[in-house]
């Protein structure tokens, strides 16, 4: 029993400010009412049983919220149920950009959408028009124009600014003319509005594992880097892109923990017991 507790404790200490959007919280994991209400676009709170539960897909009215429901909902002029990527067939009402229907089924392989593991690698793309900014499983692609390299993983904002595109992608970087023309990575402090801050920073990293968290410091009115150990019950879940939650029903007793951590601890304990 002590070894089980030790394993669980060690895992609890692991935190990260890079969000893994494959591991967003299930509504049932949101045991703190404030978290469930914060997730009101996709969750409902049962006041009789004091628990959070999934909102039916047809009751989700915002496209972004619908798209982020892993293999549960898809968007097509409304939010609807599905069970697997193969259910999303290309019809007259579907476009080939499967990413627009569910983030977890982004690749189109006629006649249906497929899961993320079928996304192209940068090295397999030989068309510069497709390569630049393509979101591969490993990260964002860039066309180097160098013989023998072609399409490869982007490593920095400067690469885009210095290659043939001469661009500074605003999703990842910011352009500055202070002293010299530069294209540099966005930092939380660059965000001047709370709504921008809450989205975090998109990096060149792997698909759905490329968001660096930011949170809005309301006392100083500045955007700062998200650190789970410093979060309160009020900003833990809302600024985590749905990947962290408050661990206790009491706002004064809990901690800000990743939802994946809870599932991992349960899995380890069940494995040991079996």
Q: Which helix (H) or strand (E) holds 128?
A: helix 128-131
Cα separation, 66 vs 96, in Å, equals 18
For the segment 202-208, the average pLDDT, to the nearest whole number, is: 88
pLDDT at site 165: 65
In tens, the pLDDT along 217-262 reads 999 999 999 999 999 999 999 999 999 999 999 988 999 999 986 4
Domain-by-domain residue ranges, the chain? 58-118, 122-170
Residues 198-213: what's their mean pLDDT? 90
- Residue bearing the bigger pLDDT, 110 or 218: 218
Which range among 41-45, 107-111, 165-169, 254-258 shows the weakest confidence by mean pLDDT?
A: 107-111
In what helix (H) or strand (E) does residue 183 lie, and over which residues does it extend?
A: strand 182-185
pLDDT score, position 29:
93
Query: Is the per-residue pLDDT at 274 higher than 50?
Result: no
**Residue 104: its pLDDT value, please?**
84
Mean pLDDT throughout 34-61?
95
Given a cut of 90, is residue 56 above it in pLDDT? yes
Separation CA 105–CA 228 (nearest Å): 29
* Residue 267 reports pLDDT greater than 60: no
The more confident residue out of 88 and 30 is 30
Q: What is the mean pLDDT of residues 162-172?
A: 78
User: What is the average pLDDT across 109-132?
Assistant: 82
* Res 35: pLDDT: 95
Strand partners, 224: 215
pLDDT at position 129 is: 86
- pLDDT, tens digit, for every residue of 72-107? 898 888 999 988 887 776 543 444 467 778 888 877
The C-alpha atoms of residue 241 and residue 211 are separated, in whole angstroms, by: 9
Q: Average model confidence (pLDDT) for the chain?
A: 81
Res. 139: pLDDT tops 80: yes
Alpha-carbon distance of 143 to 171, in angstroms, equals 18
């Amino acid at each position: 029993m002590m070894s089980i507790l030790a394993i669980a404790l060690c895992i609890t200490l692991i935190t990260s400010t890079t969000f893994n959007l494959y591991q967003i919280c299930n509504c049932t994991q949101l045991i703190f009412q404030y978290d469930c209400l914060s997730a009101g676009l996709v969750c409902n709170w049962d006041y009789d049983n004091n628990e959070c539960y999934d909102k039916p897909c047809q009751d989700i009215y915002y496209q972004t919220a619908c798209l982020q429901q892993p293999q549960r909902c898809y968007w097509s002029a409304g939010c609807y149920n599905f069970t697997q990527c193969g259910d999303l067939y290309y019809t007259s009402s579907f476009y080939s950009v499967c990413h627009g229907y569910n983030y977890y089924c982004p690749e189109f392989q006629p006649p249906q959408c497929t899961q993320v593991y079928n996304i192209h690698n940068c090295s397999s793309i030989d068309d510069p028009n497709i390569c630049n900014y393509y979101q591969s499983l490993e990260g964002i692609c860039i066309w180097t124009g160098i013989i023998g390299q072609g399409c490869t993983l982007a490593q920095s904002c400067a690469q885009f600014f210095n290659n043939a595109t001469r661009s500074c992608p605003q999703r990842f970087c910011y352009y500055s003319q202070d002293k010299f023309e530069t294209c540099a990575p966005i930092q939380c402090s660059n965000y001047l509005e709370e709504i921008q801050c809450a989205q975090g920073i998109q990096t060149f990293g792997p698909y759905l594992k490329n968001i660096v968290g930011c949170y809005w410091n309301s006392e100083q009115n500045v955007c700062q880097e998200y650190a789970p150990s410093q979060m309160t019950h009020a900003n833990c879940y809302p600024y985590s892109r749905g990947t962290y939650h408050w661990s206790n029903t009491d706002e004064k007793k809990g901690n800000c923990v990743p939802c994946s951590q809870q599932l991992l601890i349960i899995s380890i304990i069940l494995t040991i017991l079996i």
